[in-house]
A = this chain, B = another copy of it.
C-alpha cells in the first residue's frame, strides 16, 4: 500500500451511512462522508415536527459535529451527480471527483406516487426536515384560512385532513393531527371550533399497520377510531387534486392531503448503471456489495435484499443501521486480509408505532405491548436512540410539557409570507 491509506467514500449521512462511518473507527482507512444536507436526521420523529410538537433542531444534528472527534473522517456537503465505477470516483456538483477504493451508497428513499407524480404537489410526503415544515405550514394555514372563511362547505374542506397510507407514518400522523386539533388548538379560534376537524386515514389494504401482528393491528384500528380518526380500509386512491381525494367510488373534499403510502429508492441504481427492482432499489449480494462491483456496497433503503428465509429486509432505520455496519465490517475485514464474503443477517428488533399521546403498539417478538404502557416504552426507546445527551433531555422535556399542558411550542408558520399563503376556500 506504500503508505497511502485505503479510501472509503460513504454517500449519505442517514442511519446507514452514519453507522458505516462509526463502524470504520480504527480501520486503516481515510473516510469521506458526502451528504447533500449538513445534518443527520432522526426520521422516526419527523412526524412530530410536522405536527408542531418538536422543533427541527431537536431531531437533527450537523453531521460534521457528530464526527468531529474522528480525525480520519472528512465530511463534505455536496450533491452527488454520478459514480464512475471504472475510474473509481464519485462525481459531485461544482467540485473535482472524489476517488474511492471502497464505496458505500446509503442514499435512502423518497416517497413514490405509483406512477402519479402529478399528485405530489397536492399530497406532500414526509422524508426531510423541509417536508416536515411544509406539512406543518399547510396544517396550520388550513385552520387560519378556515377562521377567515364564511362559506360552510369551504370551511369544512379546509378543516378536513386526509392521510393516504396506514403504515406507521400514516398512523402516527393521523393521531398527532387529531390531537393537535382537539387539544392544542382548543380556544385558539373564534369563528371555528378546531375540534370539529375531520382526520381521514385512507388505506388500500384491509388493515392498518399491515406488517404488525393482527392483534396489534386491530387494537390500533380501534384506538384511532376512539380518538376520532375516520379510517377507510380497502380504499384505493384513484385521484388527488387541489380540492380533494377520490377513492373507490367516493370523493372527499379536503384542502390538506398528506402522502404516507409509498417510497422509491434514490438514484443509486442509475449512478451504477444497474437494473433496479420495482421500488428503484439496487439488488445486492449477501455481503451488501453490488454484483460485479465488489468494492461498491449499497445499504439501507437503497438496497434490495432478501434474507435466507425468503423475507425481504424492511425499509426501516434499524435495517439501515445494521446493513451500513455490515458493509463497513466487510471493508474492515478485507483491510485485515480476510476476503471471505460474510453474508448480512438482519435481526428484526421489533415493530413500534404510536397512536396519539397516550397509546402505542410494540411488538418485540418476545413481548407485545399496547396502550399507555407501550406509549411510555416507545418514548423511552426513542429518547435512548437520539444522537446526543442534549437532545435526549430536550425531547423528553418537550414531551413531558405537551403531555401535561397540551400546548405545543413549535406551532410556527415559516418560510415566506404566511398571510399571502393562506389557502382560499374556493
Chain A residues proximal to chain B, CB less than 8 Å: 35-39, 55-58, 60-62, 64-65, 68-69, 71, 74-79, 93-95, 129-130, 133, 140-141, 144, 147-148, 186-191, 388, 390-391, 393-394, 397-398, 401, 405, 407, 409-420, 422, 424
Contacts and interface: CB of A to CB of B under 8 A. Distances in A.
A13 B188 CA distance: 15
A148 B38 contact: no
Given A37-B413, A77-B148, 10 more contacts: A38-B144, A38-B413, A57-B412, A65-B188, A68-B186, A68-B188, A74-B190, A77-B144, A394-B394, A394-B398
Nearest to A49: B57
Given A130-B415, A416-B130, A410 B147 contact: no
Contact of A79 (B58, B190, B417): B417
Most chain B C-beta atoms within 10 Å of own C-beta, residue among A147, A186, A416 = A147
Contacts of A405: 390
Nearest to A34: B419
Q: Considering the complex of A and B, which 10 residue pairs feature the smallest CB-CB distances, nearest first?
A: A36-B419, A79-B419, A55-B57, A57-B410, A77-B144, A68-B187, A62-B411, A38-B413, A64-B188, A74-B190
A116 B141 CA distance: 35
Contact of A390 (B68, B130, B407, B420): B407
Most chain B C-beta atoms within 10 Å of own C-beta, residue among A188, A190, A414 = A414
Contacts of A190: 71, 74-75
Contacts of A55: 55-58
A412 B77 contact: no
Contacts of A56: 55-56, 412, 414
Contact of A189 (B64, B78, B424): B64
Nearest to A401: B390
Given A76-B148, A144-B77, A407 B38 contact: no
A183 to B, nearest CB: 12
B409 A37 contact: no
Contacts of A64: 188-189
21 contacts: A35-B419, A37-B419, A38-B144, A38-B418, A39-B413, A55-B55, A55-B57, A56-B414, A62-B411, A65-B407, A68-B188, A77-B144, A77-B148, A77-B422, A78-B419, A93-B420, A129-B412, A130-B415, A388-B407, A390-B401, A393-B397
A76 to B, nearest CB: 7
A112 to B, nearest CB: 20
A411 B415 CA distance: 17
Nearest to A410: B57
Contacts of A416: 130
A148 B144 CA distance: 44
